[in-house]
Amino acid sequence: MRLSENEIRDITKALEAGIPLDDKYRFALFDSNRELELVWDGKSHDVTNIVLPFQTIEHVDEPRKEFSDESQLALFDTSTGRQVKGWTNKLIWGDNKYVLSSLRSGPLREEIDKAGGIKLIYIDPPFDVGADFSMNISVGESDYTKEASILEEIAYRDTWGKGQDSYLSMIYERIILIHQLLHNEGTLVIHCDPRVSHRIKLVLDEVFGTDRFVNEIIWQRSTGKSLATSRFASNHDVLLFYTKSDVYTWNSEEAYKSYDPENLDKKTLTKYSGIDEAGRRYTLDNLLNPNKNRPNLTYEFMGHLKTWRWTRERMQKAFECGRVVVPSEGAVPRLKRYLDETPGIAYGDVWSDIFPINSQAKERLGYPTQKPVILTERLIRILTKKDDIVADFFCGSGATLGAAEKSGRKWIGSDLGKFAIHTSRKRLIASQRELKASGSSYRAFELLNLGRYERQVFVDALGGSDDVSDHRSKTRNDAFLNLVIQAYGGSRTTGFKTLHGSKADRVVAVGPVNLPASRHYIQTCVEECIEKGITKLDILAFEFEMGLFPVVQDEAKVSGVDLCLRYIPKDIFDRRAVQVGDIRFYDVAYIDASIQRNDEGIRVTLNNYSVFYTDGSLAKEQENLKPGRSAIMVNSGKIIKIEKTNDGHLLPIQTLTKTWKDWIDYWSVDFDFESKKEIVTYEKNGEQVQEWTGGYVFENEWQTFRTDENPILELVTSPKEVRSDKPRKIAVKVVDIFGNDTIKVLTYQGD
């Protein structure tokens, strides 16, 4: 290290004054192998090292098991090819930062490594600062716009709160975790757009290394459609392709599109192709184009000295067979290549043959960031082998997972949005059904939660430090708690560890704002009630862990605690609505189902489903509605349409949800609910410990759900053979059109 006297003086002054050093001194003072590094405000090389246990919420082993099958006791079901034993695919609901950290360092890492490690990670993170992540949900003949959940809004705020700086901090930490989790022979493909691709590429260069860059693929989504009044039309995305080492999978036979006339562009068809007298189709390739796969050879041809990439013997044979032709006088000599003896046209780094999801596409699910399955399927087929693990940690509607399933690959997917997880579940069950119908093999998959959310990972609603002991964070958290308790009509209390207020004769606990209220959190609240002799408890939360209802209420009841779980409405942050008492908290949904028995077996009938949602103030929405406009909203468990005439008069309210059935998007049944305990594995004192959570895994044996092609739900299951004279529990799970799930447990007394 050589510094001039002036540089030493400047550094000393800066240190004494407590001001940042000039960036140029980073390389002068510290030994660094980085030739180039992207720096932004808030950049940190520290990454999350928290390991949270995964809880299995649901297991989907068979799509629509219509009857019991004794052959399923065998290792393989030869009638369908379903693999009963071995790897189970994983769909995980949670923040991918904690998902990645827990997969990298937790008990599941061993299972992943035994299955061959993750060979391809494809991610399509949000890259549009102005993106609208709302979704349109069909309700009868109308569409309801579903806004992002509170969890998604907070994640989005954290991603874009400081613009590119916070976005890069988010993606940088996840790329580091991905690099650590990826198999040494694995590859990463990141889907982005030109506004952020150059910055992400520098981040990838830093984490993976510049020598690990393979391709920048341009996906031309469409031809230019916008008017080019001040700029060229934007019509492409960017896929950045990196490898972890020099060794990675590349299936050459999949890297070509066939020489089918429909796959040849018009120029090639008209100018450079034809059919010879024997009826064989051919193309004429330019001999003068270098090709790295052919050895160099200097050869005199057509009176010119040229550098060829063929051996002399092969060139001579081409002449003798009439394969070298001159299309016209003075033209460049060309090689006649028959299509039936060539691998096809190699995919370049510009893909213009894959079209985006349009409004009429069969695979369209209404998800705002949905990409066509063929896009990820091409990557999977080229970059992985059969039975390799493919992962997508921004899985959205599950396109990557569906492509992996159809391509015979194992998969792991995660997303923060509950609706994304539900959309993916439907897609994957549909894929299973297709494979089953065709006699192809398919794998079971399980729906996982990040289980015991510990307090140290909470980030309070209003921003601030991750450290909850920080004074500013505590102040903000108190302000949030005061707001919720006030809106609930209660008052704050002190002296409790988990309880925050009271209302009449009930105590109130407010769940975390940026994470679901987990079973562990609820159990902790109940335990404090038992300790303090409290018998009535309300827990308020924006989201609840999947599969909680009614298990936690039953457990609390056994302990002498009357537990009520209520959702916090999103308009809690509207202080005006809080002040006028216009905030409505709503209970979890109610399911009415029954069991019937006949000679074929038992059936379950769904009789009713009640919800109590309200997503805003009806009076306020009516007041703010502009003349000549209409709006759709949820009010007291009904989806309604409000409308004003051109002169500003309100028209009668229209109710779009005509019956309780309109609320249901999906329902399924576990005919033996308490047959599989929910076990979590975690590390304690350096050893792996397995523990029963007190709950059970919902084994999805029968299901029905809405699709665009078939929006009608069945309300009675297929018959299930049950040979038992003992009582058993039967669980019914309903998922509503917003992605919220509720379980009803019935008791079948036996034969």
Query: Which of 239-248, 265-274, 302-311, 695-704 is predicted with the least confidence, judged by mean pLDDT?
Result: 302-311
Query: Residue 36 domain-assigned?
Result: no
Residues 434 and 467 in one domain: no
- Bridge pairing between strands 389-392 and 118-123: parallel
Residues 352 and 335 in one domain: no
Query: Residue 692 domain-assigned?
Result: yes
Distance CA 622, CA 633 (A): 11
Instruction: Write down which residue in 290, 317, 345 finishes a domain.
Output: 345
Give me the amino acid identity at 84.
Answer: V
Residues 608 and 688 in one domain: yes
pLDDT at 419: 85
Helix/strand/coil (H/E/C) assignment for every residue in 62-119: CCCCCCCCHHHHCCEECCCCEECCCCCEEEEECCHHHHHHHHHHCCHHHHHHHCCCEE
Query: Residue 40 domain-assigned?
Result: no
Residues 194 and 290 in one domain: no
Q: At 85, is the pLDDT very low, low, confident or very high (cuts 50, 70, 90)?
A: low
**CATH number for the domain harbouring residue 573:** 3.40.1350
Is residue 330 within 8 Å of 303, Cβ to Cβ?
no
Reading the block at residue 370, the tokens are 């949905």
Reading the block at residue 115, the tokens are 């299955």
Distance CA 236, CA 218 (A): 7
Q: How many CA atoms lie within 13 Å of 306's alpha carbon, on the beta-carbon side?
A: 16
pLDDT at 412: 98
Tokens 């209660």 locate to 490
pLDDT one-digit tens code per residue, 291-347: 444 444 444 444 443 444 555 666 677 777 777 777 777 666 677 777 776 677 788
What letter does residue 331 receive in the DSSP assignment?
P
Closest to 125 in 3D by CA, of 343, 473, 415, 405: 415
Query: Residue 47 domain-assigned?
Result: no
The rounded mean pLDDT for the chain is 80
Q: Which residues pair with 392 in a beta bridge?
A: 413
Tokens 């890297």 locate to 255
pLDDT at 605: 96
Distance CA 61, CA 444 (A): 4
Query: Which of 98-107, 224-233, 462-471, 721-730 is predicted with the least confidence, judged by mean pLDDT?
Result: 462-471
More confident residue, 363 or 641: 641
Instruction: Write down which residue in 286, 312, 345 finishes a domain.
Output: 345
Query: Residue 48 domain-assigned?
Result: no
Residues 201 and 72 in one domain: yes
Residues 460 and 597 in one domain: no
Residues 300 and 202 in one domain: no
**CATH number for the domain harbouring residue 124:** 3.40.50.150
Residues 597 and 516 in one domain: no
Residues 263 and 341 in one domain: yes
Boundaries of domain holding 269: 258-345
Residues 484 and 338 in one domain: no
Query: Which of 21-25, 390-394, 645-649, 654-658 is predicted with the least confidence, judged by mean pLDDT?
Result: 21-25
Q: At 121, is the pLDDT very low, low, confident or very high (cuts 50, 70, 90)?
A: very high
Residues 387 and 339 in one domain: no
Q: At 207, is the pLDDT very low, low, confident or very high (cuts 50, 70, 90)?
A: very high
Closest to 571 in 3D by CA, of 524, 619, 610, 531: 619
Distance CA 253, CA 4 (A): 59
Q: What is the pTM of this model?
A: 0.78
In total, how many domains does the chain have? Answer: 4
pLDDT at 284: 74
Query: Residue 482 domain-assigned?
Result: yes
Count of residues making up the chain: 751
Closest to 242 in 3D by CA, of 201, 283, 196: 201
Q: At 108, is the pLDDT very low, low, confident or very high (cuts 50, 70, 90)?
A: very high
Query: Residue 18 domain-assigned?
Result: no
Instruction: Write down which residue in 421, 450, 479 finishes a domain.
Output: 450
Is residue 216 within 8 Å of 240, Cβ to Cβ?
yes
pLDDT one-digit tens code per residue, 526-551: 999 999 999 999 999 988 877 676 67
Residue 565 has pLDDT above 70, yes or no: yes
Q: Which residues pair with 351 in a beta bridge?
A: 219
Query: Cβ contacts of residue 721 below 8 Å, gap of 6+?
Result: 67, 68, 600, 601
Residues 86 and 157 in one domain: yes
pLDDT one-digit tens code per residue, 403-446: 999 999 999 999 988 888 999 999 999 999 888 888 888 899 99
Distance CA 670, CA 728 (A): 11
Query: Cβ contacts of residue 337 below 8 Å, gap of 6+?
Result: 282, 283, 284, 285, 323
Query: Residue 233 domain-assigned?
Result: yes
pLDDT at 145: 65
Q: What is the number of other CB atoms lying within 10 angstroms of the CB of residue 462?
A: 16
Closest to 148 in 3D by CA, of 417, 341, 392, 367: 417
